Chains A and B, each alone.
Chain A
Amino acid sequence: MRNKPALIGSVIILVLVLVAVLAPVLAPYDFAKTDLNNVEKPPSAAHWFGTDQLGRDMLSRLIYGARSVVFVIVVVSTISLTLGLTLGALAGYFGGWVDTLISRIIDFLFAFPDLLFIFFIAATIKPGLVNSLKSFGQTNNIQWLVDFVRSGYADYLVVMIALSVLGWAGLARLVRGQILSLREKDFVLSAQAVGVPTRKIIFRYLIPNALAPILVAISMGLGGIALSEGILAYLGIGLQPPNPSWGIILADNAGRYWREWPEMLWLVFLPFVVMASVVFAFNFVGDGLNEALNPELQ
């Protein structure tokens, strides 16, 4: 691999995933455990990355924050990829009313500026949905549902669905365009002529050939999802405190509850550097893929 940034990016992503999966093993402390005798301590042997304003171990919080990012990235990209590939391919391949219907839905979703749309969903549907989930769990005695709501991940799910709803539309539009141009190619015609089933034509013939720009779009998109996760948590509409997300850590230490912190640089600088390097990593890999797959544009 000649592309150094892409290589570094891949390593960072690998580390991120490992840290997310192994968080309970790696974290030296409980991420929510407060220690009021050790408030805002600089990095030391006991707390490598120092402690925050409630005496919580920063390293453990950052490690669990990785979990939150990876969780969101996996869920959002899976949903939007499945929807985007399938619906985009259907629209491009069949044309006609299928195309019209899917394209109009995409148009409609594109009518909302994305962050504002998520904002709106978080302000309107989320509280009602989370509350009804909770009361449904309580009245029917479904313990895991109650726990799920209490854990703060229910709030998260709503935001993730909103992110996916926007994510698939962009991808579907891209896939549709690719399929439209591939549909007329001879190899598709010959496949149709020898009676290859439609499903197989779409998934074995068309999508693999349309893959290059789709891959680039996805890898670039992952960095965007990671950023959105942080921003939404920062704004208080993603994961709920005390659960750690890098956005929440930033908000706690320097954002919503603004405080003087000249001597507490690590509280803001560390989550910033960690978050930035993860987004960098995704963009580096995306850039590298772009270079490898579309050499004429570089």
Chain B
Amino acid sequence: MLAYIVRRLLWLPVLLILISLLTFALGLYGPGDPVQVMLGLHTNPQIVEQVRKEYGFDKPFPVQYWNYVTNALQGNFGYSLVKYQGQRVSDLIAKRLPITLQLNLVAVLWSVPLGIALGILAALRRKTWLDVFVRAVVILGISLPVIGLMPVLDFALSRKHEIGALGIGPFLPPGGWQGVFAPHIIQPAFILGLGALAVFTRQTRAAMLEVMNADYIRTARAKGLKEWMVITRHAMRNALIPLITIIGFTLAGLFAGSFLVEQFYGIPGAGALAYDALLSKEYYIIMAFTLIAAVVYVIFNLIIDIAYVFVDPRIRYK
């Protein structure tokens, strides 16, 4: 057990170094000369040389990598090269990340509890219309392409429809960002949460079905426990533990979904910034995103794996 944790912790720095090395190498040499990206193709070679020196692009690769990593550790991820020229990437991200986090939080808050509740209900009412309905919701949540769902929903809900002489709608504002409590958040948060809803419903249902067949449930019933006690005290507690392991994937999926949702609804969050950066080859911003996301993801998953052992003492890693 302890050996497992130690091994994971020892592997962590290696993983982080590999991640940063790959990100840096691809980020620096992948999209072409960063100075050219910044200044354009037709610039005085002298100026190019000067800028190259200024940013340290003339130094050998290991030196540049070292500088980048040590700066990154101090929270400096370089500067914007094109659109926000001269601004620090860390400032740009820091300004926009709260919006993305708030949006994601709202998405998680409606979808995860609802998913767990639907999953439990479907498992308890197995093979009834409720179960069929819940499974349909799951398949819908997984299959509906968000890129088409967004415009269709937007059309249905945030436009005025004229049916004969009657005008119906708009029911919701079309997008934009007015904070967590404005109705503007309803559409993007709904879209963003669909995937998580489906995943949590499916996993909860499967886990509950498995647990309900266990011997200790029969024992609990045999000793005369009321059914709701059996479900809440014995079944749910055991069924919900494995859900911890999918939190990491779910959050990563949400963050990736933020790209699409923020870009479509015109929400000035981190996802929209990343998308802009991709289009305009802002390689410092792209690197910062990949690096931060990967590092957070790795550490988060490590914490989850270790926490899992403590939450469920039956788990033994070798």
Pairwise interchain contact B297-A230, C-beta atoms closer than 8 A: no
Pairwise interchain contact A114-B148, C-beta atoms closer than 8 A: no
Pairwise interchain contact A251-B27, C-beta atoms closer than 8 A: no
Pairwise interchain contact B11-A283, C-beta atoms closer than 8 A: no
Proximity bits, B255-282, A CB within 8 Å = 1, else 0: 1100110011000000000110111010
Across the interface, B155 reaches (CB within 8 A) one of A108, A115, A268, namely A268
Proximity bits, A253-281, B CB within 8 Å = 1, else 0: 11110000110010011011101100110
Among B139, B143, B256, B293, residue most surrounded by chain A Cβ atoms (within 10 Å): B143
Pairwise interchain contact B139-A284, C-beta atoms closer than 8 A: yes
Interface segment among B15-23, B103-111, B238-246: the answer is B15-23
B236 is an interface residue with CB less than 8 A from chain A: no
Given the known interface contacts A113-B255, A116-B256, the answer about A124 and B206 at a Cβ–Cβ threshold of 8 Å is no
Pairwise interchain contact A113-B256, C-beta atoms closer than 8 A: yes
Pairwise interchain contact B139-A287, C-beta atoms closer than 8 A: yes
Residues of A close to B274: CB separation below 8 A? 119
A259 to B150 alpha-carbon distance, docked (Å): 14
B252 to chain A, nearest CB (A): 4
Pairwise interchain contact B147-A120, C-beta atoms closer than 8 A: no
A108 to B14 alpha-carbon distance, docked (Å): 10
A261 to B151 alpha-carbon distance, docked (Å): 10
Residues of A close to B5: CB separation below 8 A? none
Q: Which of B181-234 contact A (CB under 8 A)?
A: 206, 209-210, 213
Pairwise interchain contact A223-B152, C-beta atoms closer than 8 A: no
B122 to chain A, nearest CB (A): 11
Pairwise interchain contact A255-B151, C-beta atoms closer than 8 A: yes
- From A237, which residue of chain B is reached at the shortest CB distance? B278
Pairwise interchain contact B31-A250, C-beta atoms closer than 8 A: no
Given the known interface contacts A113-B294, A272-B148, the answer about A280 and B139 at a Cβ–Cβ threshold of 8 Å is yes
B298 is an interface residue with CB less than 8 A from chain A: yes
Proximity bits, A211-231, B CB within 8 Å = 1, else 0: 000000000000100010011
Pairwise interchain contact B206-A297, C-beta atoms closer than 8 A: yes
Interface segment among B49-57, B82-90, B283-291: the answer is B283-291
A261 to B156 alpha-carbon distance, docked (Å): 12
Pairwise interchain contact B159-A262, C-beta atoms closer than 8 A: yes
Across the interface, B23 reaches (CB within 8 A) one of A114, A120, A236, A251, namely A120
Across the interface, B26 reaches (CB within 8 A) one of A125, A237, A262, namely A125
B145 is an interface residue with CB less than 8 A from chain A: yes
Specify the main secondary structure of chain A where it touches its partner. Answer: helix
Pairwise interchain contact A112-B290, C-beta atoms closer than 8 A: yes
- From A275, which residue of chain B is reached at the shortest CB distance? B145
A271 to B145 alpha-carbon distance, docked (Å): 10
B30 is an interface residue with CB less than 8 A from chain A: yes
Pairwise interchain contact B143-A124, C-beta atoms closer than 8 A: no
Residues of B close to A120: CB separation below 8 A? 23, 26-27, 286, 290
Pairwise interchain contact A127-B32, C-beta atoms closer than 8 A: yes
Across the interface, B145 reaches (CB within 8 A) one of A121, A235, A253, A279, namely A279
Pairwise interchain contact B11-A115, C-beta atoms closer than 8 A: no
A222 to chain B, nearest CB (A): 12
Band of interface residues on B: 35 or more
- From A226, which residue of chain B is reached at the shortest CB distance? B145
Pairwise interchain contact A283-B143, C-beta atoms closer than 8 A: yes
A122 is an interface residue with CB less than 8 A from chain B: yes
Pairwise interchain contact A108-B15, C-beta atoms closer than 8 A: yes
Across the interface, B152 reaches (CB within 8 A) one of A110, A117, A268, namely A268
- From B28, which residue of chain A is reached at the shortest CB distance? A124
Given the known interface contacts A108-B18, A112-B290, A116-B293, the answer about A231 and B147 at a Cβ–Cβ threshold of 8 Å is yes
A107 to B12 alpha-carbon distance, docked (Å): 11
B78 to chain A, nearest CB (A): 15
Given the known interface contacts A124-B283, A128-B30, A262-B159, the answer about A230 and B255 at a Cβ–Cβ threshold of 8 Å is no
Pairwise interchain contact A280-B143, C-beta atoms closer than 8 A: yes
- From A233, which residue of chain B is reached at the shortest CB distance? B147
A226 to B126 alpha-carbon distance, docked (Å): 31
Given the known interface contacts A108-B15, A111-B294, the answer about A223 and B142 at a Cβ–Cβ threshold of 8 Å is yes
A182 to chain B, nearest CB (A): 18
A31 is an interface residue with CB less than 8 A from chain B: no
Across the interface, A276 reaches (CB within 8 A) one of B143, B209, B281, B283, namely B143
- From A277, which residue of chain B is reached at the shortest CB distance? B143
Q: Which of B46-71 contact A (CB under 8 A)?
A: none
Residues of B close to A262: CB separation below 8 A? 155, 159, 161
Residues of B close to A235: CB separation below 8 A? 259-260, 275, 278
Given the known interface contacts A119-B278, A237-B278, the answer about A276 and B30 at a Cβ–Cβ threshold of 8 Å is no
Task: List the 7 closest A-B pairs by CB distance, nearest first.
Answer: A124-B30, A272-B148, A115-B256, A254-B151, A113-B252, A279-B143, A124-B26
Q: List 20 A-B contacts (CB under 8 A).
A: A110-B301, A111-B19, A111-B297, A113-B255, A113-B293, A114-B252, A115-B259, A116-B252, A119-B274, A122-B278, A123-B30, A123-B283, A124-B26, A124-B286, A235-B260, A255-B147, A272-B149, A279-B142, A279-B145, A297-B209
Given known contacts A234-B147, A287-B139, A297-B206, what 8 new A-B pairs fall within 8 Å (CB)? Answer: A111-B294, A113-B252, A113-B255, A119-B259, A120-B27, A128-B31, A235-B259, A268-B148
* B interface list, Cβ under 8 A from A: 11, 15, 18-19, 23, 26-27, 29-32, 135, 139, 142-152, 155, 159, 161, 206, 209-210, 213, 252-253, 255-256, 259-260, 263-264, 274-275, 277-279, 281, 283, 286, 289-290, 293-294, 297-298, 301
